[in-house]
Amino acid sequence: MKNLSVIILAAGEGTRMKSDTPKVLHKVSGAAMLERVLNAVSGLKPEKVCVVVGHGAQQVKKEFSDRNIIFVHQAKQLGSGHAVIQVRKVLSKYKGNILILCGDAPLIKQETLKDLLSFHIRQDIDATVLSAEIDNPFSYGRIVRQPSGQVSGIVEEKDAQPLQKRIKEVNSGIYCFKSQKLWNSLKKINNKNNKGEYYLTDTISILSCSGASIGAYKIKGFEEILGINSRIDLAKAEKLLNKRVVEKVMIEGVTVIDPENTYISPEAKIGRDTIIYPGTIIECDTEIGHSSIVGPNCLIRSSKIGSGCVIRTSFIYDSILHDNVKIGPFAHIRPGTVIKEDARIGNFTEVKKSIVGRGSKVSHLAYIGDTELGSDINIGAGAITCNYDGVNKHKTQIGDGSFVGSNVNLVAPVRIGKNVLIAAGSTITEDVPSGSLAIARSRQTVKPRKKRG
Ligand code: UD1
Ligand code: CA
C-alpha cells in the first residue's frame, strides 16, 4: 500500500509476565506475539515497518533478523508516546499515513486493519483510533467522547475519574495518523500523569483541541484487540485464536469432535472429511489430507500427512506420511521420517530419520533408526536397529519383501537384501544377500531338570 508506514511498539518489559523472555516473544498458537502482528501487517504491503525495541532488544532483533524491518531502539521505556518519538528520525521525510500497533496485541486480523485504513482514508481523518466495547474495560485506556459523540481523548485506567472508569469503549492501542499530525502532537505530550509516562494516547486530546479531525473505528467484539499483559491474558489469547482457527477448519469441512480440546495452528492445513478426536494438537505448518482420522491425543508438528490415514494417540515431528498410512496407538515418529502408502507403524514403535516403504509393517514394540525399508516388509515385535555405536550413527537397509523376526537386533551398518528371512532372536552384524535365510542365535539345548530338595 502506498502512503502507508507502520510502527509496532515492542520495547516494554512486560513486568506482569514475570519472565526472562521479552513479552513480544511469548508465543500464541505457536508463533511469537510480534510475529502474529507482523503477519497481520505484511498483507497491507506498507512502505516501511519500524519496530521499537528496548527490553530484550537483542533477542527480539535476532528472532526477526530475516525480516524487512527497521528496528528502532528505545533505551529507556518512558512510555508509548516516547517510544513513537524514537521513530521520528527514520520517518521524518515520510508524508503518508502511519499505522501504529502494539506488539502485545497479537489477535488483530489483517482485514480489520484494512477496514480501519479505508475508514481513515475515505473520511480524510487526521487521527483514527481502533476501539471496541469490553464488558470489563479494566486496564485499558477509555475513549472519551463529547455529548455529540465526537472523540475528544483517551484516558488511561490509572488517570480515569470514577465516571470515566465506567466507559466500556476502550482503546485497542492501534491507530492511524497523518504523519505530520502525529509528529506535531507528540511534541506536546508530557509525563504529568499517574504513571509518570509519556503516553501516546495524549496525542488524541492534543489533536482534538487543535481542531484536527479525530475518528474512532469501533469494531464488534473485543477478541481482536486483547492486549497481553500477563500469563492469564496469554492463555485467553491462545483460547481465542484457537477457537477462530478450529471454527475455520470446521467451516472448510473438517470434523472436530471437541473444539475446546483440540489445538490447531493457524498455519496448518487440513483436508475435507478428516476427523479430529479430542486432545489433539496440530502445530506449525502441518498439512493433513482429506478423509484422515487423527487422535485422540496426538501431537503433530511440521509434518505432511496424506489422505485416508489413521493416526491414533501418537507423536509425529517433521515427517512425511503418504496416503493410507496407519500409525499408533503410542507411536513416536521422529524428524526426517518418510512413511509411504499403506504402511503401518503400530504401538510402542519409534521411527527416526527413516524411510518405510509402501505396504511395510512395523506393528509392535520396534525401533527403526537411520534405516531404509523397502516395500512389503514385515518387522516383528521387539526388533530393533542398533544404529548408534556410542560415537557415530550408522545406516540399515532392508530390501523389498523381507521378513525380520521378533526380537532381532540389526547392528548397523548392515544391508539386508530382498525377500530375506531373518529368524527371531537373531543378532545380525553382517550383510545378508537377497533370497536367503539368516539365523544368528545360539542353538537351544534341552536337558533333564535336576530334582530339587
Ligand atoms: C496501552 C494504551 C491503552 C490501551 C492498551 C491496549 C498507552 C498509554 N495506553 O496501555 O490506552 O488500551 O495499550 O492494549 O499507550 N511500549 C514501548 N515503550 C514504552 C512503553 C510501552 O514500546 O516505553 C510498548 C509496549 O511494549 C506495548 C505497548 O507499547 O507493546 C503498550 O504498552 P503497555 O505498557 O502494554 O500499555 P498498556 O498499559 O497496555
Ligand atoms: Ca499492553
DSSP codes, 17-57 = G--SS-GGGSEETTEEHHHHHHHHHHTT--SEEEEEEBTBH
What dihedral do alpha carbons 344, 350, 354, 360 form, nearest 10°?
A: -20
- Asked whether residue 405 carries a pLDDT value surpassing 80, the answer given is yes
Q: Which three cell numbers stand for residue 253?
A: 469441512
What count of other Cβ atoms lies within 10 Å of the Cβ of residue 391? 5
Q: What is the pLDDT of residue 391?
A: 96
- Does 320 sit in the ligand 1 pocket, CB within 6 Å? no
List the one residue out of 307, 242, 234, 251 whose CA is nearest residue 274. 307
* Atom nearest to 103 CA in ligand 1: 30
Known catalytic residue at 82: no
* Atom nearest to 198 CA in ligand 1: 8
List the one residue out of 374, 370, 332 whose CA is nearest residue 354. 370
Q: What is the pLDDT of residue 388?
A: 94
Distance from the alpha carbon of residue 370 to the mean position of ligand 2, in angstroms: 48
- Does 203 sit in the ligand 1 pocket, CB within 6 Å? no
Best probe residue, ligand 1, of 52, 72, 102 (max atoms within 8 Å of C-beta): 102
**C-beta separation of 299 from 333 below 8 A:** no
Percentage of the chain beyond pLDDT 70 is: 100
- Does 227 sit in the ligand 1 pocket, CB within 6 Å? yes
What band does 434 get if pLDDT is binned at 50, 70 and 90? very high
Distance from the alpha carbon of residue 23 to the mean position of ligand 2, in angstroms: 10
103, 186, 361, 437 from 267: Cα distances, Å: 19, 38, 31, 49
Q: What is the pLDDT of residue 141?
A: 97
CB atoms within 5 A of ion ligand 2 belong to 104, 227
Distance from the alpha carbon of residue 123 to the mean position of ligand 1, in angstroms: 27
What band does 22 get if pLDDT is binned at 50, 70 and 90? very high
Among the bound ligands, the one closest to the CA of 157: 1
- Over residues 310-344, the pLDDT tens digits come to 999 999 999 999 999 999 999 999 999 999 999 99
What band does 281 get if pLDDT is binned at 50, 70 and 90? very high
Q: How confident is the model over 252-263, as a mean pLDDT?
A: 98
Peptide bond into 147 cis (omega under 30): no
Mean pLDDT over the full length of the chain: 97
- Does 103 sit in the ligand 1 pocket, CB within 6 Å? yes
Q: What is the pLDDT of residue 433?
A: 98
- Over residues 6-17, the pLDDT tens digits come to 999 999 988 999
β-strands 31-32, 97-102 pairing? unpaired
Percentage of the chain beyond pLDDT 90 is: 97
- Asked whether residue 2 carries a pLDDT value surpassing 80, the answer given is no
Q: Which three cell numbers stand for residue 160?
A: 480515569
List the one residue out of 391, 400, 403 whose CA is nearest residue 438. 403
- The beta strands (E) that lie in 156-239 are given as 169-178, 214-219
Q: Which three cell numbers stand for residue 165?
A: 472508569
Residue with CA at minimum distance from ligand 1 atom 14: 227
What band does 5 get if pLDDT is binned at 50, 70 and 90? very high
* Atom nearest to 170 CA in ligand 1: 12
Q: How confident is the model over 197-225, as a mean pLDDT?
A: 97
Q: What is the pLDDT of residue 93?
A: 87
Distance CA(384)–CA(387), nearest Å, equals 9
Q: Which three cell numbers stand for residue 282?
A: 496440530
Q: How confident is the model over 64-87, as a mean pLDDT?
A: 97
DSSP per position, 289-306: -SS-EE-SS-EEES-EE-
- Asked whether residue 152 carries a pLDDT value surpassing 80, the answer given is yes
Q: How confident is the model over 19-33, as a mean pLDDT?
A: 97
Residue 244 parent element (H or E): helix 231-251
- Over residues 213-228, the pLDDT tens digits come to 999 999 998 999 999 9
Distance from the alpha carbon of residue 80 to the mean position of ligand 1, in angstroms: 5
Among the bound ligands, the one closest to the CA of 15: 1
* Atom nearest to 11 CA in ligand 1: 22
Q: How confident is the model over 35-64, as a mean pLDDT?
A: 97
**C-beta separation of 173 from 227 below 8 A:** yes
Q: What is the pLDDT of residue 13?
A: 84
Distance CA(30)–CA(171), nearest Å, equals 26
Crossing angle of helices 33-42/110-122, nearest 10°? 50
Amino acid at 274: T
Distance from the alpha carbon of residue 168 to the mean position of ligand 2, in angstroms: 17
The strand pairing partners of 255, in sequence order, are 275
Residue with cell 489413521: 310
Distance CA(271)–CA(362), nearest Å, equals 27
398: alpha, beta or left, given left = phi > 0 and alpha = psi -120 to 50?
beta
**C-beta separation of 275 from 258 below 8 A:** no
Distance CA(185)–CA(205), nearest Å, equals 9
- Over residues 160-180, the pLDDT tens digits come to 999 999 999 999 999 999 999
Helix (H, G, I), strand (E, B) or coil at 206: helix
- Using only C-alpha atoms, what is the Rg of the chain? 30
Helix (H, G, I), strand (E, B) or coil at 156: coil
What dihedral do alpha carbons 128, 130, 133, 138 form, nearest 10°?
A: -100
- Asked whether residue 59 carries a pLDDT value surpassing 90, the answer given is yes
